[in-house]
Structure 1
Amino acid sequence: MLSRGVEAGMTVEASIVLPLFLFFFLNLGCAIEMIRLHGNLQLALWQIGSRMSVYGYALDSGEVPENNDGWWRDLVGTAVSATYVKGQVISSAGADYLNGSPLTNGAAGLQLWESEIFGPNDEIDIVVTYSVSPWSSLIRFSPFRMANRYYAHIWNGYRLSGEGEGGEVTQIVYVTENGSVYHMSTDCTHLLLSVREVPSDLIDYIRNQGGGRYQPCSRCASGSPPSTVYITSQGDRYHHNRGCSGLRRTVTSVTIEQAQQAGLGPCSRCGG
């Protein structure tokens, strides 16, 4: 009798725990699918939004972009309506997948009422809203709203850094990290370093472009020199390492007003 009582007790415990176990995993599986649905819809939005950003300029210019895969005709023919975008999202994500997902009403449940496509500022703002609900009534939570968004500007050009608000374009010049002058052209010989390799035992006899001798670089020329070292015609240092930062120029473009305010004068070589 004792043995039978124990067996009956274990059966009762299992009948209580098993439904709770199944209930937990049903909820967990549904939550995972909702996260997966959100990620797949975001990927679909990125795919259509990025392509619309590339070809959107054609709506204003009338130019047909090369290799457009028929998108130009589709965009113009449908006036880029929300219905067209919704169809592209469904096609990208897959109608069968959406209809089998936690998406309420399947693919038909996607709404784009809050979207603004090719607005007055040439912006693409696609907002997809939808409701998600559990697969089964055993999963005890109510449907709730979710949303995905893609926001971008169409690729129709950009304002140069030297363009003022009134449309006036200021002069752009080029400066180096520790330079004392500004340059009118990136082709200036001061900016284009010509590095050459020379025997280290001849370095005391070689002169730079100004007639000066080469001294060891404080960054890389410590210790005994290798068989060859690196120099430039405009520099006054020799380098043990070809990758030394002293052999590289960090060139930045600024307006001429910014360069003058920093106390930089014009370069004597490039006509500044």
Structure 2
Amino acid sequence: MSRAVTLIREGDCARITLFNPPVNALTQRLRSELRRALIEAENDPKVRWILLKAGGRCFSAGADMGELDRLHEAPSLPELTLAIESGTKPCVAWLHGAVLGGGLELAMACHYRLGPPELRLGLPQIALGLIPCAGGTQRLPRLMGLAAALHLLLSGETIGATQARRLGLIDAVTPRLHVEAQQQAEAWKLAAQGVRRTRDRRIKVPVADAAGWLERLSLALPDEARDNPACARLFEALKTAVYQPFDEGLRREWALHLECLSLPQLQERAEARLAARRHGRRAPRHQWVREG
């Protein structure tokens, strides 16, 4: 069996590449191999920084739907994102294609993010009746503000590279570079600034009373949204992000995610989404969400 993660040293850079076709799903095997590669890079005195990228058609479309019951197995995705963010060496994510769900959570844990104009980024877990489990509700508002984060999380939509750069989700939009030396040179421009942890950022809120604002929006949701048990839990996770320390926010997010996993509606939503994909239909857009 070929490896899902490879590490190659180029000068003072440890280039870590994910390769788990077709969409680089974050299986337990990939997570384990990635954790070992990160430890190896962190312990190598010749390595000054890490470039995290992926082979194939996209960076990562998130968790493997067939392994939702294995997300807790070590290293869990929350443990992996914490390990990346807590590293002492700058880690830059070179993104391409789709960066979705757990894939985006992985990228947000890196210290910098960049990629070409055709990027599509999003956290579509809400359509399955889930909320993110690896810091999505905690890091996203720290990067792009509470209002924009709520929009992206509730709608499940994706955004392009230009909008992601404007909102602060990524740090740079680059040409589509196929030569690894060029990718590494572009990434180094960011890594040279040193470690920058998303968890240390303050959340920009649209009003002073963020709790009241979230409560009003939650009560104003239409029946379609109220029928999705993940929506109420999403609002609770975001409230925790604003008012509690980061680590407490991660713990609460994980607990709320597990609640969603235990609900019978999850399987129904997953089957409906897969059926829509088989027939070439897109999931319905949630029109009640408005950007702040």
Higher relative contact order (CA 8 A, sep 6+): 2
Bigger CA radius of gyration: 1
TM tier, smaller: under 0.3
Which structure features the higher share of strand residues? 1
Which structure features the higher share of helix residues? 2
What is the TM-score normalised by the length of structure 1?
0.18
